[in-house]
A and B are shown apart, each in its own frame.
Chain A
Amino acid sequence: MTPRARRLLYLLFIVAVAAPMIWPVHIPLVVKPETRDLYDRIDSLSPGDVVVLSSDYSPGTASDVHAAAVAIFKHLMEKDLRVISVSFTADGPQFAEQMLATAPEGKEYGVDYVDLGYRAGGENAISAFAQDLRKTFPADIHGAPVDSLPVLAGVTGANDFALVISVAGGEPGPVTWMRQAGQPYGVPIAGVVTTVMVPPNLPYYQSKQIIALLYGLRGAAEYESLVNQPGAGLAGMGSQSAAAVFILVSIVIGNTLRISAAKKGGARDDD
């Protein structure tokens, strides 16, 4: 492919993705059962129940999962649940702070939600956290001793969690949480994963070891429609549709040109 053809292809792709953002096209969205399972589970919890929201993603995956984290956090706040934000990837706390900044008025840090920050070591750190929260995080991200925070009253480890929601760009993810907290302590585990990670996580959803699974930006759009809070997820659906169609049309055109060139017996002209 010549550089000129390649640049033209990129430009066409950018135009295809940008157009629905500038002139939105509203196509109805069907909510998957995997997404509704999380919504129903959160709805069934009682005020004061403890939910762990684990932000384990990086700049390379944030655009896929962060919107879902924001929508879920808003739902948790509406239900008056106690939210513990943790991270087991180095970039997680930065995104957790951006998510917690959307807390509605009337909700107080340290009383309704807390950010404990980051611990290194992946699966081992999750195991340590599930066993003994206070030993793993003696203080929150701002240095306040956890014993002084009302939101953590009576919470010592996974036995006290009503739900864990793993928002993951890769590892550690919901399967890791299932192995270290779900299986040993019986805590329900839900996952928000990038679209790439959906196929390998589905066997655990089918076996009910993971109770819910949101599919990247699509999952975010579905959750936003359930909680009636339009955000980046719904805003991106038109572009995602355009991108999918663009890719498929490229495959068809590429194969058509290849087949016709093969029939003519000559080299294909990429321009």
Chain B
Amino acid sequence: MSVDVIQGIRVTKTSNLRFGPMIPGTTDGTVALDVTGSRTQTGNLILLTSSSVPFSAANFTMLGTPSITYSITLPSSVTLTRQGGAETIVVNSFVSSPSGNGSLDTAGTGTLAVGGTLTVPASQTPGYYSGQFTVTLTYQ
């Protein structure tokens, strides 16, 4: 016999915020990753697509009190650092769905997706960059 007890809202992350592979352009550019996981660029950078190197919005599933409302706090920016080096690259303009506030359904479940915009300078040092940020849900 077993039981699973939830305190508040339990959030389970199902994917990280991953921009995937890309080749910087001859001018600075940006890559916006929307809440559906689609990438849109500005500038002439080249977005690459590889099944071995996926890109995705950050996705979460939630479990808690039916119909409870919550507010979402996202960072204003996060800095990614190159593995094996010190160079950085910045993500900002975070967006989410739901946006601002949300609520769990009558079964006590919900989902959340988070996107953001990566700024890609033309001269960005090549490599694998990563960083961490926190998504906070506030509720009664």
A and B found bound together: no
Residues of B within 8 A of A (CB): none
Residues of A within 8 A of B (CB): none
